[in-house]
Amino acid sequence: MLTTNPFDDDKLREECGIFGVSGMDGAAAAVALGLHALQHRGQEAAGITSFDGHQFHTHRAMGHVAGNFDRDEVIRALHGNVACGHVRYSTTGETALRNVQPLYAELASGGFAIAHNGNISNAMRLRRDLIRRGAIFQSTSDTEVIIHLVATSQFRTLIDRFIDALKQVEGAYSLIVMTPEGMIACRDPLGIRPLVMGKLDDTIVFASETVALDVVGADYVRDVEPGELVIVKGGEISSHKPFAPVGPRPCIFEYVYFSRPDSISNDRSVYSVRKAIGAQLAIEMPVEADLVVPVPDSGVPAAIGYAQQSGIPFELGIIRSHYVGRTFIQPGDKVRHLGVKLKHNANRELIKGKRVVLIDDSIVRGTTSLKIVQMMREAGAAEVHMRIASPPTRHSCFYGVDTPERAKLLAAKLDVGGMTDFIHADSLAFISIDGLYKALGEAHRADIHPKYCDACFTGEYPTTLTDQDENGPPDDQFALLHERVG
């Protein structure tokens, strides 16, 4: 089985989305709706766990939310007025139901369910230590490390044991945890991965993005702050900040690609930021052309901004079909190549004889860009220029993003000239890192204290990377049966 969506396959993938509801009859149904809105953050598997005041109920399945959670009998079996859910991608390694979240365990304090977006960058070391002490792991997920740390903590109360566990992990995490005592939502001290809080009447809702709040009719209240634990017990909400304050470093790629454009991230409209990125790109990297054409769908807002700033007409020169399934049997190279056009096709009469500037959000391996440029040339374009709404992606992410190992990143191997030749474009240019910050309302990227995690562009990781330092590149880590799934 091979994908018919080669454009989306050559993207960095946010690995997970999480959603939680506390204080609503039939909470699992609302969680299912929220996960639908977060499906773009993970399309491999989904799970929901609910709590009815006495017992936890879980349903986890491979595949999309639709088809697994749109059946009445599934939702009816998830009793309770508290529930949380998770959609996931995995990285290289095992794809198995045992890794699908929320993960659940029976602790001395009772049931404990956890949904995680992020990556624990010292999970391998912690896992080895826990196994030496007698822990028995049921998954290859870094998330399970947190469960074992909570279970083995010597602190008395559950919240203190949970805080003790979090103080031992490094990396990025946004978590929703369900216990008999209530729901906990938290972010790592740098706030690398997103998490927001909303309210619907007396119901509290947590989600990876505000768009999921919109879908269930909840009002956005605020972001869960970096390093904050929000605890919901019945109708009571409390906030705990057990970590020393540090400068937040939210993931800058949420604005470039990960988040849906109709979401609000850190009080900024993702759509408006992407348009501003496109406008800044036009200022920095102008080109004489007849048409501005977005690579659908993620390139559309930046292309609108580029067109408005440059005065070059915006046109849909590539048409995307939204009615093709994600997988398709492709028996042979020839049919596989033809399968590309099932998902995207050139608007031939529009393109023919025109100088085209293509706008995309990023270049990862470069295979997508090569196919798009070839598609434009086959449609008769006189010139094909490419403009990218992010700086060159030269470094892997270790914070919950499915990134190819660095050797497969085109920008890590070639300079811009070499990349231009590789994709067979007439020209190729990227927005600068300062330009990206400017589009976000910052004067420039401060060399000492940048306000975002931009390690995929700069290589400046905001945390220690214990597993990476001790065990080598990601491929070697996966050989040791560790899988980043969160």
Round to whole Å and give the CA distance between 74 and 90. Answer: 24
Q: What are the CA-CA distances from residue 209 to residues 16, 223, 466 (Å)?
A: 11, 10, 29
Computed over its alpha carbons, how large is the radius of gyration of the chain? 23
Q: Please give the sequence-ordered ranges of beta strands (E in DSSP) within 97-228, or none if there are none.
A: 103-107, 110-120, 171-179, 182-187, 196-200, 203-207, 219-223
Q: Are 77 and 57 in contact (CB under 8 A)?
A: yes
Strands 401-402 and 13-14: antiparallel
Q: What six digits make up the tokens of 298?
A: 């993620």
Q: What six digits make up the tokens of 336?
A: 């596989």
DSSP per-residue letters across 173-191: EEEEEEETTEEEEEE-TT-
Write down the residue that tokens 């991965």 correspond to: 193
Round to whole Å and give the CA distance between 279 and 350. Answer: 23
Q: Are 400 and 483 in contact (CB under 8 A)?
A: no
Round to whole Å and give the CA distance between 13 and 32. Answer: 21
Strands 13-14 and 344-346: unpaired
Sequence-distant (6+) residues with CB within 8 A of 399 are: 118, 119, 121, 171, 172, 192, 193, 251, 453, 455, 463
| Residue 16 annotated as catalytic | yes
The identity of residue 354, as a single letter, is K
Round to whole Å and give the CA distance between 380 and 400. Answer: 40
Sequence-distant (6+) residues with CB within 8 A of 215 are: 33, 34, 36, 37
Catalytic residue among 16, 186, 251, 397: 16
Round to whole Å and give the CA distance between 151 and 327. Answer: 40
Residues known to be catalytic: 16
